[in-house]
Structure 1
Amino acid sequence: MQSDGLRVMIVGGGGREHALAWKINASPRVSKVFCAPGNAGTASLAENLPVKASDLEGIVSACREQGIHLVVVGPESPLIAGLADRLEAEGIPVFGPSMAAAKLEGSKVFTKELLDSCGVPTAKFQVFDDPTKAFMAARHHFCCDGGLLVIKADGEAAGKGVIIAEDETEAVQAIDSIMVKKVFGASGDRVVLEDYLEGEEASIMAIVDGERVKGLLPAQDYKRAFDNDEGPNTGGMGCYSPVPAVTPDIYNFTIEKIIRPTLTALMDRGIRYRGVLYAGIMITADGAKLLEYNCRFGDPETQVVLPLMETDLVDVIEAALEGGLDEITLKWYNKRAVCVVMASGGYPGDYKTGEAISGIADAEAEDALVFHAGTASSDGRVVTSGGRVLGVTALGADFHEAVKNAYRAVDLIKFEGMHFRKDIGARVL
């Protein structure tokens, strides 16, 4: 990759992509950033292109037209569909795993069987392609084993394919929805039934090149819609970094005993994973166990991890693409970061869009970073266009200061029906 004058494309249009564009735009090596499709926030530091993240051929064409030197892919769906393979075939450097490697997120069955083969600690599981046998296994679990049961659709399900059943009725309903009613289509041809793990969740993202690993700071997100972890699951209502519960021992265990063996098992199958590998772990009484892998940067975890990173992200990506990760030392600011997500009223259910947003500049004047997610420009105004609208990130010398700074900025932003959790970061105060 050339040393400067880089033209970089970010694929996607959410808060994660705004954070990536912000960090990459800060690199002295970059001359211009493009986002496909981006949002109202990315428009202030990049050129938004009218190309959907799902339009693989449109992205390839845009890269050719704009003379792109590097593509960074935000969401998982284009990767699972093979975007990295298409770009590589055109000779365009891309940071993101191949279709084969992205199966770590695209297929729960593939991942569980891979983990089992290489001894990575994870929940005990069974795989079914016959709903009748899955029903029988669920009934046996509640009659003989007891405890919660986790039911997972094999394929992509827009983050809704994991159901935690408290009793036999809920388990049977979940299996029926996934395998019989096919609410997730072919993604429900197979299901994974697994034991529920008790403990504290955390996310550890790593930059990997198939063999070498550079772990990023751990983060912890808040998935439930309402305070005190109540309400339905969402894409994430906020997060913080680093995570006190992730001790150095747990962190090193995750890198050495979870991520590295996974990469080796993939290489043994002829699959080199190059990109970000996100390990969702549960810190149990028996140590860290893997819950799931994601094949991309987390959202909203990226919005707290990147502001703490002192190192030029472009240098790290280049090292991953060119085999130089061992020569990179990641440097971090000695601060704490908190992100509060501001969502449309009704999210994650039905919600209105097109509501005018005010106060963003005031929040930014308070040294907050306002990362746009579901926003658009309309008649010179910024309006809501999605469920998760903004991610307000603030830093502090400690978590008390970071939380205070984040909510001070949140209080300056207004839009009709806005909703946000008021307890982000409370568990580490």
Structure 2
Amino acid sequence: MKTRLGAAVGAVVALALLLSGCGAASSDAKVTLTMWAWDPNIDKVVALWNAAHPTIQVKVSNPAGGDQLVSKMITAHQAKNGPDIGKVEYQSLPALVAGGVVRDITDDTKTTVKDFDDATLKATRFDGKVYGIPQDSAPLMLFYRTDVFQKYGLAVPTTWDQYAQEARTLHQKAPSVQMTNFDAQDPGWFTGLVQQAGANWWRLSGTTWHVDINDALSNKVAAYWQGLVQDGLVAKNPSFSPQWNKQMNDGSLATWVSGAWAPAQLGGIAPSTKGKWTVAPLPSWTAGDTSTGIWGGSAMTVTTDSQHPAQAAQFISWLNTDPTAVTAQIKQINIYPAATSGRSLDVLKSPPAFFPNQANYYDLVKQAAPGAHAFTMWGPNVTVTFSSYTDAFGKALQFGTPFSAALDTVQSATVSDLKKKGFTVA
């Protein structure tokens, strides 16, 4: 991707590398690396590394998750006391690259990157330089309650038209049960849906940004879901709220459109539903189309504050490509590996613990992963875009105003902020 993004941070990264000695510490000198990550049980995976690498020890802490961790990384970088390694969701990486928070690790990962396909690696590569090692892939899938579908005679939908029809059938038979919810609080869910439809919110031509958040494809997705909301077929409350957790647990929500990581969350969300969920491909806009979107997914990065970048790059390469490490992550964290080789590990022959009745769980995810569409790139001000989404769609749900107007608001807020930050916008 030809972009000024990488060039803009080149001087910052080069200076940081010079100051840190570019990892020139003696290979037999003991170093301790700090890693910020929010995965539960990641410490158990890191313990495997520490046991085998006495001269390179990794200390894990969990100061925050998602966007909050990104904010802490930026603050720590400004104080010049950031961690060596940081877990970063893909959409947040461009802003950290532009801000000089994470470093170019191309030279230390030339062998590592061969274990990833281009579609996966593009989320961490800018101007041909690598700024992170992908950890997991999160294709959108359809999770449905087998018991609810059987009780009300619902068919597993393969298209969005059929999904809406099954939602109407469910509403007629059981008015207190809804097909799913529309989440105005988590933009990652909605961006995954518009990615499936083929939308591309950000592009860069030379040094000029193109922002297309309110394009025709995004409006098609928004109009579809507004129709379901207006007809009372889907709930309005946000995911991961106490009310939503209760609905997921008691069967008053029949499906969940989520990333492949859902089994890791369902045990805490709906503990009494183990064995009652089944995964299926995401419904398509056109019959037979295997496209899907992504929701989430992260990379491990090395910061420009690290005094041991070579060792840090060595560790994150091991974490995300070594068969033992990836197997441990699947067992402990329930990730679906980003590494191509990781998708054929023996551990994936058994379903996640929360899906004991679906032996082909990972087979279906593996089939869906190649069709996962992502934006060509994420913009450098995703936090502003996401904040505007939450506000605009929250108000649209509350007051019944058009979702198309909410998209216009998000578009305007994103463009205004880019210009304010000094970017050129078409």
Whichever structure has more strand as a proportion of its residues is 1
One fold, TM greater than 0.5? Answer: no
TM-score by length of 2: 0.29
TM-score by length of 1: 0.29
